[in-house]
Structure 1
């Protein structure tokens, strides 16, 4: 399964944020999305998640025999600031979520404790009110929801930046375990995290997406090279004459 973006554009007034985005994401990979503040990462995620409508272009899920438009139900969005009902315990909320989505969740609600064990949440914590959860605990619950409903595409907006070392390690392993069944796109400002976790790095700069060549990542000064690419449009080859995504 592939997520294929073709000629995707989005502007806000006179400001062009996405300019002829062309890219293919494959299931079984974690993609690290890099870009400076204001580059359009959130706009891209919002278009993919159906929260805003692109001005132009297509977003399709393609496999060997079929091609169809990406739909909201195909996408799970892990927000940097989790939005969960704080008046419920984690256990109550997940049980409620399973009941409401029973048509797409089959047989996974019979072992609630097993689900929380999978995300390494203690018995005490799973029965606390969500308002008492740390940021990391809330993000764990978000991830558990997507393990249950299994959306084809999962967008992760800076999900690991506020975790302690142990929780971050647990979450990274969880993402590695999930990737075989999903297309994972991971937005982060932390270059070391992206290189450690992701199978492929892409840059969003001047409205277009471009893959970073694997050869760059093997060089001692790869961090400096990537920073240079983020600073310099010409290095990316992403002017209007070459808006298609390619390899650096």
Structure 2
């Protein structure tokens, strides 16, 4: 399976945030999405996830000789700031989520405790209100939803940056285990994390997507080479205008 993005464009007024972005993301790989603040990473994720309408272009899922337009239900989105019902306990939320989506959940929906075990969520935490969960716990709860729904495409917006070392290692292990069945795109500012976790790095620069070659990743100075690429910004792109156009982007 492939996620094929072709000529994707998104404008905010006279600012071209996505300018004919093209890329083929393959199942079985974790892609690291890199870009400066305001480059359009969140805009790209919002277009892929159906939360924002692209102005032009297409996003398709391709399997062999068949293809279809990407739908919102094809995409799981791990937000940098998890959006969860904090008035419920973790257990209540997962029970409710399973009940609502029972028709779409093929397996793993019967034993909720086994799901929490899989995510290394302690038994004492399962019946706490989500508002008392740490950021890492909330991210685990988000990931648990994707283990249930198994969307073909999973977008991860800075999911590891605020986690402690143990939880981050657990999340990286889980992502590596999941990649064979999904297209995983991981947005981060941390180059070393991207190089450690991801199979390929993709740079969003001047509205277009460019793959960083495997040869560059193997070189000891790869971080400097990526930084130099991201620094090649015209004077009119380095001001505050693009940040305003792509408000809230990372």
Following superposition, the deviation at residue 137 of structure 1 comes to: 0.2
C-alpha contact (below 8 Å) 2:27/2:181 kept by paired residues: yes
Give how far 1:233 is off. Answer: 5.4
1:123-175 CA-partner distances (Å, limit 9, x unpaired): 00111110100000000000000110000100000000000000000000010
SS in 2 for 1:210: strand
Give the unaligned 5+ runs of structure 2: 235-250
- Shift, 1:63, TM fit: 1.3
Q: Summarize deviations over 1:164-203 as a string: whole Å, max 9, x none.
A: 0000000000100110110000000000110000000010
* Cα distance in 2, alignment partners of residues 57 and 195 from structure 1: 29
| Distance in 2 (alpha carbons) for counterparts of 1:54 and 1:133 | 35
> Are positions 1:203 and 2:203 aligned together?
yes
User: Take 1:3 and 1:216, find their aligned partners in 2: how far apart are those partners?
Assistant: 24
* Distance in structure 2 (CA, Å) of the matches to 1:182 and 1:88: 29
Checking the alignment, whether the CA contact within 8 Å between 2:30 and 2:184 is kept in structure 1 is: yes
Rounded Cα–Cα distance in structure 2 between residues aligned with 1:65 and 1:112: 38
2:245 is matched with which residue?
Answer: none
The answer for the alignment partner of 1:57 in structure 2 is: 57
Shift of 1:107: 3.6
Question: Does the 8 A contact of 2:90 with 2:126 survive in 1?
Answer: yes
Q: Residue 28 of structure 2 corresponds to which residue in structure 1?
A: 28
- Correspondence for 2:4: 4
Equivalent-residue separation in structure 1 for 2:43 and 2:105 (angstroms): 30
* Matched position secondary structure for 2:192: helix
Cα distance in 2 for residues equivalent to 1:109 and 1:216: 43
Q: Is 1:106 aligned with 2:100?
A: no
Residue-pair matches, total: 234
Q: Does 1:163 align with 2:163?
A: yes
Q: What is the alpha-carbon distance in structure 2 between the residues aligned to residue 22 and residue 85 of structure 1?
A: 36
Residue 68 (structure 1) aligns with: 68
Deviation of 1:218 after TM superposition, in Å, equals 1.3
The aligned counterpart of 1:121 is 121
Give TM-score scaled by structure 1 length. 0.93
Matches within 5 A, 1:218-233: 218-232=218-232
CA distance in 2, matches of 1:73, 1:107: 18
Looking at structure 2, the residues matched to 106 and 22 of structure 1 have their Cα atoms a distance apart, in angstroms, of 33
Inter-partner Cα distance in structure 2 for 1:65 and 1:17: 32
Deviations 1:5-45 (A, max 9, x none): 11100000000000000100000110000000000000000
Question: Which residue is 1:144 aligned to?
Answer: 144
Deviations along 1:44-98, one digit per CA (max 9) or x if unpaired, are 0000001111010010000112110000110011000001111111011001100
1:177-216 map, 5 Å: 177-216=177-216
Report the aligned-residue RMSD: 1.0
- Secondary structure of 2:104 counterpart: coil
Q: Secondary structure at the match of 1:103?
A: helix
